[in-house]
Chain A
């Protein structure tokens, strides 16, 4: 009967590597409590406000679809920050990587519109991942080879990426037979090959992507042939067809969860992840263990950048299907609290990104029903972050203290024992 004990040890193993839910849960509760006081000061009923908030986030298929849409980019940027942070590369450039990823996905989508979905969609996803990696290449090199602080370089590259986007979204996208807005003669230059703007209209907008780039949604699943053949006669199937949010619930959040699972295995079950965490925890010790620090840091940074790029790709391919200026504000920066409230654990990021996504999705309904302003949601998020980070710090402090105390008492015992031996002799 070996199996149960082995299973038990696997489970224990998992728990040790898992995250503590206590601190984030307490932080979120405290954040709601304090925000409730603010809502009282506002002159509204906090219970009613939070009720409207949660029904706006989970109350209907439509609400759930919105929550999932808000959640997905945050999940990817949260994973990017978490993996990088554990590996000693604090990537605050997820914002820029996200923009690059979104641009790359759109660029591939509008340049290869004739490919079938089975090829084009993966190609777009791949492009966004590569773009994210490309954008972290310089900080990764500078950090791993020359020790230049990655916080500063990734931060600066965010702004450069955003300005590049602001430029390229205003450059007409090269198309053979297009009537340029205003009827001007087309005079294509090389830059138009990179341009993302829909030449046929005046606004800085990319053309709508072709259907072959769309993430498959629940609707495509439900309407697919074999699904109809299997369940076509069931009553619930016809009810399901009536749900109007099916096309907005796409594969993107599922890919996010799968990615989180993959990152969990990468971080805790592979040599790559082990080395990365060792370098992040203590580079000196890692060097003594024979780990190539430069290579490991570089790899960590690239994986983190890839996740940042994917965040942009998922948003474009799963939700917006085009890019416009400010198409997604601060999702990269907000990856930092998502990762930290999630205890820098991939599965923690799943929960905290869902929390952030739900708050954002439900905020509007709260304002409409109870006239409590959307801004309260920012306060809730902010308090949750601050309580969580403060709580985690306290926790770590206590643990370290306990460990030191126990180590010291062990040493005292040893000394006492040694003294005893001496006196005995």
Chain B
């Protein structure tokens, strides 16, 4: 049994699968760091990703161009983000409750939009619709290196975008004025406001970025991995992405590693289920959650999350 377990780790395909499974979580989690750091709880990632799945299919299916599909997915994710920003930031409603509502609404809206787009006459098309899907871009030279090539450099283009999010998010968050504003707004909105930073504007922008990335993440699942649409096809990956943010303690590097951990657990679970049914794969799925829980509890790993997280900001009227 141990040998079989070990042989999984010797297989190149396993590592390729890790990268493949981690990407949707990386895209959503890394894209939502700004919003989280600006003090907005991104529980609505699931809904944004769901809109992305159907946005990708609709854009790609209607125009026949898969990249327009990605654009549609981004816009769909941002649409949910806009509603979220209006209700949670402008109105100041409770963020988690609003998110639960939006996730439910996205579940319904995706099914309706899909059927509206692909219905001919009165008939609801039940068969799986094939639309132009993404294809892998093999990076020249790098893609030919044994082991490293197939694992890292022979993937869908969105995977490379996933790699890029790490330096990009880190740089924007820690080396640009806007990143400083984001952190200030999340840790002390009142102080940020006094020095002339518009708390609402920063949060709106951050949520829209999260919406765009979550939309891409959804499109990666629909027109990338599976090239078709099913109801609720993100299957809770938005919440996994949220957990990855908690795991990474709101730091880009940590969040990235957390996403990879969840991707690895997912890939391992599938393989163990197929190859070694003796090992209960459920525990492998459980591992990242347990690790995150322990990280939360342990004193060393005390999470330093944004102080104003979840709190709406209202300027005192004089």
Taking Cβ atoms with an 8 Å cutoff, the residues of A that contact B are 38, 41-42, 90, 92, 142, 148-149, 151-153, 155-157, 159-160, 163-164, 166-167, 170, 333-334, 336-337, 340, 371, 373-383, 385-386, 389-390, 392-394, 397, 401
The docked-state distance in angstroms from the alpha carbon of A152 to that of B94 is 16
**A167-B280, A389-B97 given; A155·B239 CB < 8 A:** yes
B96 within 8 A of partner (CB): yes
Chain B, residues 190-217, CB within 8 Å of chain A (1/0): the string is 0000000000000000000000000000
Q: Which of A148, A336, A386 contacts B96 (CB 8 A)?
A: A336
Q: Are A389 and B109 in touch, CB under 8 angstroms?
A: no
What are 12 contact pairs spanning A and B, CB under 8 A? A151-B96, A156-B293, A159-B285, A163-B283, A163-B286, A378-B107, A380-B108, A382-B105, A385-B98, A385-B100, A385-B101, A386-B98
Kindly list 11 other residue pairs between chains A and B, CB separation below 8 angstroms, not including A386-B93, A390-B91.
Answer: A148-B297, A151-B310, A159-B243, A167-B283, A336-B96, A337-B104, A371-B124, A375-B107, A378-B108, A389-B101, A390-B98
Contact status A159-B282, CB under 8 Å:
no
State whether the Cβ of B139 lies closer than 8 Å to any Cβ in chain A. no
A156 to B262, CA, bound (A): 13
Smallest CB-CB separation from B287: which chain A residue?
A163
B93 and A390 contacting across the interface, CB-CB below 8 Å: yes
Residue B12 CB within 8 A of the other chain: no
Q: Using a CB–CB distance below 8 Å, which chain B residues touch chain A?
A: 41, 83, 87, 91-94, 96-98, 100-102, 104-112, 115-116, 122, 124, 231, 239, 242-243, 246, 280, 282-283, 285-286, 289-290, 292-293, 296-297, 303, 305, 310, 312, 314, 317
Whether A389 pairs with B297 at a CB distance below 8 angstroms is no
> Which of A42, A160, A377, A386 is close to B108, meaning CB atoms less than 8 Å apart?
A377
Report whether B93 and A337 are in contact in the complex, using a CB–CB cutoff of 8 Å: no
Q: How far is the CA of A376 from the CA of B111 in the complex (A)?
A: 9
Whole-angstrom distance from the CB of B143 to the nearest CB of chain A?
Answer: 36
The majority secondary structure among interface residues of chain A is helix
- CB distance B112 to A160 under 8 Å? no
Cβ B286 vs Cβ A38 within 8 A: no
Q: Are A379 and B246 in contact (CB under 8 A)?
A: no
| A151 to B286 CA separation, bound complex (whole angstroms) | 18
B94 to chain A, nearest CB (A): 6
Contact (Cβ within 8 A) B283 A385 = no
Assess whether A385 is in contact with B296, with CB atoms less than 8 Å apart.
no
Complex Cα distance, B122 from A333, in Å, reads 35
Within 8 Å CB of A385, what residues of B?
97-98, 100-101, 104
Is there an interface contact between B100 and A153, defined as CB atoms closer than 8 Å?
no
Docked-complex contact A164 and B282, CB < 8 angstroms: yes
Which residue of chain A lies nearest to B47 when distances are taken between CB atoms in the complex? Answer: A382
Q: Which residues of A contact B293 (CB under 8 A)?
A: 153, 156-157, 160
Contact A386 B102 (CB under 8 A): yes
- Chain A residues, Cβ within 8 Å of B242: 155
A153 touches B296 (CB 8 A): yes
> Across the interface, do A382 and B297 meet the contact criterion of CB distance under 8 Å?
no
Are A383's CB and B105's CB within 8 A?
yes
User: Which 7 A/B pairs are nearest by Cβ-Cβ distance?
Assistant: A382-B105, A378-B108, A385-B101, A375-B111, A167-B282, A379-B108, A375-B108
B292, closest chain A residue (CB): A156
Name the CB-closest residue of B to A146. Answer: B297
Nearest-Cβ distance from residue B313 to partner chain A, whole angstroms: 13
Option from A149, A340, A377, A379 in Cβ contact (under 8 Å) with B94: A340
Given A92-B96, A373-B111, verify A163-B87 contact (CB < 8 Å): no
Contact A41 B105 (CB under 8 A): no
Tell me, rounded to whole Å, the shortest Cβ–Cβ distance linking B88 to chain A. 9
